[in-house]
Amino acid sequence: MKIFKMKDYDQMSQKAANLIAAQIITKPDCVLGLATGSSPIGTYKQLIEKYNNGDLDFSKVTTVNLDEYKGLPRDNDQSYYYFMNDNLFDHVNIDKENTHVPNGMIEDSEKECADYEALIASLGGQDLQLLGLGHNGHIGFNEPADDFAKTTHCVNLQESTIEANKRFFASIDDVPRQAYTMGIGTIMKAKKIVVVVSGADKADIVEKAFFGPVTPHVPASILQMHPDVTVVGDEAALAKVN
């Protein structure tokens, strides 16, 4: 595991964007696994800037997103589909046909999850998967559990995650209770993984996830077993890491 301790959120975002840019430059038709949330927004801004400067071409890139709320229409500004268009896809020359987010409006969870897993496999898997880290160690919507979930599946969100996400909704009652997410197995099949993490409130979970025991009770701890993981954090998040 490589760890980059950067001064602040901007530096973290620049470093993560450089890693993703290197992937796109070395393999223009790469498959990027992408995340939503506050951690990667700066990274996406930097990627847009590189595109505007003529340094990056997204025309052959394919993307697969980690997760999506179940039951939230795609045009809802809190859907992850909307987030990705708003924060990245609308601003670069990616072919929207090549961008994929689980469809939360498909009621049949088993079918949507199996189809999404098959889609990722048919693309040859993610060349690079970008991740954020939840306060409870979740990655995607893989919450602490007794087992590591292998493939894309439907989850019931934990109270702590609903609480953390309520800031984006009019009230806590509007936060969806379920989501579709890549499984831990789906994430671990990525050839490279880049985790972006910022803020003092993540310092404890960074220590647990990357230096504690590997356990499904801290889902991100499994990343210690992956051969090519890079953690890019700011000083506050990596305060407990030497």
Q: Is 67 assigned a catalytic role?
A: yes
Window 194 to 233, contacts with ligand F6R (CB under 6 A): none
Please answer whether residues 48 and 88 qualify as being in contact, where contact means their C-beta atoms are separated by less than 8 angstroms: yes
CB atoms within 10 A of CB 26: 9
Enumerate residues 14-43 that contact ligand F6R by CB under 6 A.
Answer: 35-39
The footprint of ligand F6R on residues 122-181 (CB under 6 A) is 132-134, 138-141
From the candidates 68, 112, 127, 143, which is the catalytic residue?
A: 143
> For ligand F6R, how many residues bind (rule: CB under 6 A)?
14
Nearest residue to 232 (alpha-carbon basis) of 29, 28, 35: 35
The reply on whether position 187 binds ligand F6R by CB under 6 A is no
- What is the closest distance, in whole angstroms, from the C-beta atom of residue 131 to ligand F6R in the complex? 6
Q: What are phi and psi of 154, to 5 degrees?
A: -100, 130
**Direct distance between the N- and C-terminal alpha carbons of the chain, in angstroms, rounded to an integer:** 14
Which among 65, 67, 142, 153 is annotated as catalytic?
A: 67
**Residue 138 catalytic?**
yes
Shortest distance (Å) from residue 104 CB to ligand F6R:
12
Residues 182/66, Cβ–Cβ less than 8 Å: yes
Query: By C-beta, is 60 or 215 nearer to ligand F6R?
Result: 215
Instruction: Check 65, 87, 127, 138 and give the catalytic one.
Output: 138
Site residues (vs ligand F6R, CB under 6 A):
35-39, 66-67, 132-134, 138-141
